[in-house]
Amino acid sequence: MPPSDTPSGELLYEAAGLTKEYDGGNVPALRGVDLRIRRGEFVAIVGPSGCGKTTLLNMLGLLDRPTAGTLRFRGRDLTALGDPASYRARDIGFIFQSFHLLPNFTIEENVQIPMFGLPGAPAARRARAVELLASVGLSHRLDHLPVKLSGGERQRAAIARSLANRPSILLADEPTGNLDSKNSAHVMELLQRLRVEHDVTLVMVTHDRDLAAHASRLVEIRDGCVVSDGLTS
Amino acid sequence: MNFLQVIFRGLWRRPVRTGLTVLGIAIGIAAVVALVGMASGYEKSVVNQLDTIGIDVVVSNMQGGIMPKAFEETVRDSIASLPGVTAANATLMQMLSVEDAPMMVVYGREWGSFTWEGLKVLDGRLPQNAEEPAVVLGKLAAEVLGKKVGDPLQIEAADFTVVGIVDGSSVLENGAVNLALPRFQEASGYEERANFVNIRVEDGTDVEALCTAIEAQHPGLRAVASGEVVGTSQGFQMARAMSWSTSLLAIIVGVLGVMNTMLMSVFERKHEIGVLLALGWQRARIMALILCESAAMGLLGGIVGVLLGAGVLAVLETTPYVRGFLEPDLGWSLAVRAVVIAMLVGVVSGLYPAWRSSRLSPSLALQG
């Protein structure tokens, strides 16, 4: 029985025949991917550059729409959602390789940005941002602009931001791709710790096999297809 | 942090460009304020003048625009005989270049008529009779012409002597040159002609019925109660239309300027918009952000524009073309209207950029 079928956790994602094509079908990115992800899992999606890892992650976060196939989240058909903003705001936390912090806002403000879509007073937003930044060790950097921070610090701030709305899933796209080995190790440790503390499911795209070894499950993609799916040793 | 701070942070990211756009709107709004302020100032000057002199009904040939065509001055006699009319005086009014002044209002008033009554003599005297080649200058006119009592003054080709300086209690009266009607008719070539008959009526007179009677008696002339002169005059309507249509051009230029800025901003911030979408911002919120930024630029431009316009009016008021001729009018109503127009300019200009921003695909936008 594949790990995605482990009946221990609630079924979060269920993708069937997920396909994505660009340029009117001339450039296939995903070819009929079937995937199930359960609550509490730490899934690493690996594969060479251009194999469709990020495309799959974008589908899960509804940053892009599939060309064919179905994608369900907690039983709800995501492809039928009109505006996925609420889904992204409430259920998903994104972590990007390039951090994608807004340059004109301080770190603390950056963490507040996702909270604008949800109810809450400015003071509550600020308190939550301060709390999250403290949990990633950036209490002393609250008023700094991203440009004043090191790469590792920026990614820690981005991780804090991803947790702002208490999501159930973190989607991380090469979270250590722009970091040196020391910072990579710190960020991985942090992700592991926060995953447990905040009880979130982590789906991480990486091409780094060592990093993928931190995950509980490894999904390998080649040429837009899942070629292996199993527990890590 | 609140949404307002997010808006201003967006504007502050390119301070020079934001500043230049705001300045562009401000110049457009200043033009609106100056032009409309001048037009309404002229209207106000006329209303003040009629009030000051105590005119109840004005008869003129309104076909001539701001300066009505002249007609036989004997019209005054037949109007004077109508019931309810206590006084009717013929006046010839022209806007002329007088010596070094490029534009002055010159009145030929019937000697001894009530239109002289409101002129308070500050220096010298009024003309002694209708034949005397004498002029009386309003205090602003004296200042503009640099004349004092006893100085000669040439109007068209005729020579006169300044015999008095007067305070007429309205800017039009104070900026005018006054002389006896026959002398001005002679000098201007309008012998036995006038272009206004000013009427006073008995209390309780049905002014509307009187006006109808005058118009029936003199087809081609219009009789208007003094309070309605501004609203019914083709000249004022034309001046108002011209000032607003010129303002409209300035506003269109403003709209294009803001739209260009906001479109550039949306293109430049594609990545930022992609991040906001990925972080769960609704497309409507992003549209609101762009629209609010645009409206905020409009608001700032409006405020700066009103101040700039007020400055322009203050300067214009001192120029010989305007001084003594009209009193620019910048009231709260015009200032508020100008700021509201500027905000609307901002909102309208932001609509297309906001729509463009809402169409961005987050995955593509994140790629930059």
ipTM, two decimals, is: 0.91
Amino acid at A126: R
Rounded Cα gap, residues B313 and B243, in angstroms:
14
Query: What residue ranges do the domains of chain B occupy?
Result: 3-44+236-366, 62-220
The stretch B13-32 carries a mean pLDDT of 87
> Do A86 and B280 count as a contact with CB atoms less than 8 A apart?
yes
Least CB-CB distance to A114: which of B9, B12, B279?
B279
Q: Searching chain B, which residue's CA lies closest to the CA of residue A88?
A: B280
The stretch B77-95 carries a mean pLDDT of 92
A50-to-A188, A207, A211, B96, B231 alpha-carbon distances in Å: 23, 10, 19, 82, 74
> Do A89 and B278 count as a contact with CB atoms less than 8 A apart?
no
Strand pairing report for A92-95 and A169-173: parallel
Write the DSSP assignment of B147-197 as a string of letters: --TT-EEEETTEEEEEEEEEE-SSHHHHTEEEEEHHHHHHHHT-TTEESEE
Amino acid at B302: G
Rounded Cα gap, residues B2 and B5, in angstroms:
5
Question: pLDDT band at residue B254, thresholds of 50, 70 and 90?
Answer: confident
Rounded Cα gap, residues A177 and A207, in angstroms:
9
Which residue matches tokens 């309205």?
A: B170
| DSSP alpha helix (H) spans, A92-221 | 107-112, 122-135, 151-162, 181-197, 209-212
Cβ of residue B359 closer than 8 Å to a chain A Cβ = no
DSSP code of B68?
A: P
Question: pLDDT band at residue B265, thresholds of 50, 70 and 90?
Answer: confident
Cβ contacts from A onto B, under 8 A: 70
Cα within 13 Å of Cα(B226), Cβ side: 19
**Which H helix or E strand runs over B95?**
strand B85-98
How is residue A18 written in tokens? 């997920």
pLDDT of residue A5: 41
CA A188, A178, B278, A65 torsion-angle sign: negative
pLDDT of residue B292: 93
Number of H helices, E strands in chain B: 13, 12
Cβ of residue B14 closer than 8 Å to a chain A Cβ = no
- Considering only CA atoms, give the Rg of chain B: 28
> Do A64 and B361 count as a contact with CB atoms less than 8 A apart?
yes
How is residue A56 written in tokens? 């799959």
B280: chain A residues, CB-CB within 8 Å = 85-90, 92, 114, 117-118, 165
Cβ of residue B362 closer than 8 Å to a chain A Cβ = yes
CA B69, B71, B76, B78 torsion-angle sign: negative
pTM above 0.80, yes or no: no
Cβ of residue B282 closer than 8 Å to a chain A Cβ = yes
- Considering only CA atoms, give the Rg of chain A: 17
Mutate: best of A30, A113, A128, partner B, most B CBs <10 A: A113
Task: Using alpha carbons, select from A63, A65, A72 the residue that is nearest to residue A38.
Answer: A72
The stretch B255-275 carries a mean pLDDT of 83
Decide if pLDDT at A72 tops 90.
Answer: yes
- A89: closest CA of chain B, how far (Å): 4
Cβ of residue B8 closer than 8 Å to a chain A Cβ = no
Strand pairing report for B120-124 and B71-72: unpaired
How is residue B197 written in tokens? 């008959």
**Which H helix or E strand runs over A231?**
strand A225-231
The stretch A34-47 carries a mean pLDDT of 95
Mean pLDDT for chain A overall: 91
Chain centroid to Cα A83, Å, comes to 19
* Complete domains list, chain A, with CATH: 3-231 (3.40.50.300)
B2: chain A residues, CB-CB within 8 Å = 122
Highest mean pLDDT among A10-14, B14-18, B243-247 belongs to A10-14
Chain centroid to Cα B134, Å, comes to 32
**Where is pLDDT greater, at A220 or B31?**
A220
pLDDT of residue A3: 41
8 Å CB contact between A94 and A159: no
* Total Cβ atoms within 10 A of residue B106: 21
Decide if pLDDT at A2 tops 50.
Answer: no
All residues at 6 or more sequence positions from B50 whose CB lies less than 8 Å from its CB, including other chains: B58, B226, B229
- B145: closest CA of chain A, how far (Å): 60
Highest mean pLDDT among A4-8, A79-83, A129-133, B61-65 belongs to A129-133
> Do B280 and A92 count as a contact with CB atoms less than 8 A apart?
yes
Q: Is B310 helix (H, G, I), strand (E, B) or coil?
A: helix
Cα within 13 Å of Cα(B227), Cβ side: 2
User: Cα torsion at A126, A130, A133, A139 (round to 10°)?
Assistant: 140
Q: What is the pLDDT of residues A193-205, one digit of tens each?
A: 999 999 999 999 9
Least CB-CB distance to A85: which of B275, B280, B361?
B280
Task: Using alpha carbons, select from A91, A125, A90, A89 the residue that is nearest to residue A108.
Answer: A125
Q: What is the pLDDT of residues B191-217, one digit of tens each?
A: 999 999 999 999 888 999 999 999 999
> Do B280 and A58 count as a contact with CB atoms less than 8 A apart?
no
Question: pLDDT band at residue A6, thresholds of 50, 70 and 90?
Answer: very low
Cα within 13 Å of Cα(A152), Cβ side: 14
pLDDT of residue B324: 62
The stretch A53-63 carries a mean pLDDT of 94
How is residue A85 written in tokens? 């903003």
Least CB-CB distance to B281: which of A64, A85, A125?
A85
Cβ of residue A96 closer than 8 Å to a chain B Cβ = yes
All residues at 6 or more sequence positions from B146 whose CB lies less than 8 Å from its CB, including other chains: B100
> Do A117 and B282 count as a contact with CB atoms less than 8 A apart?
yes
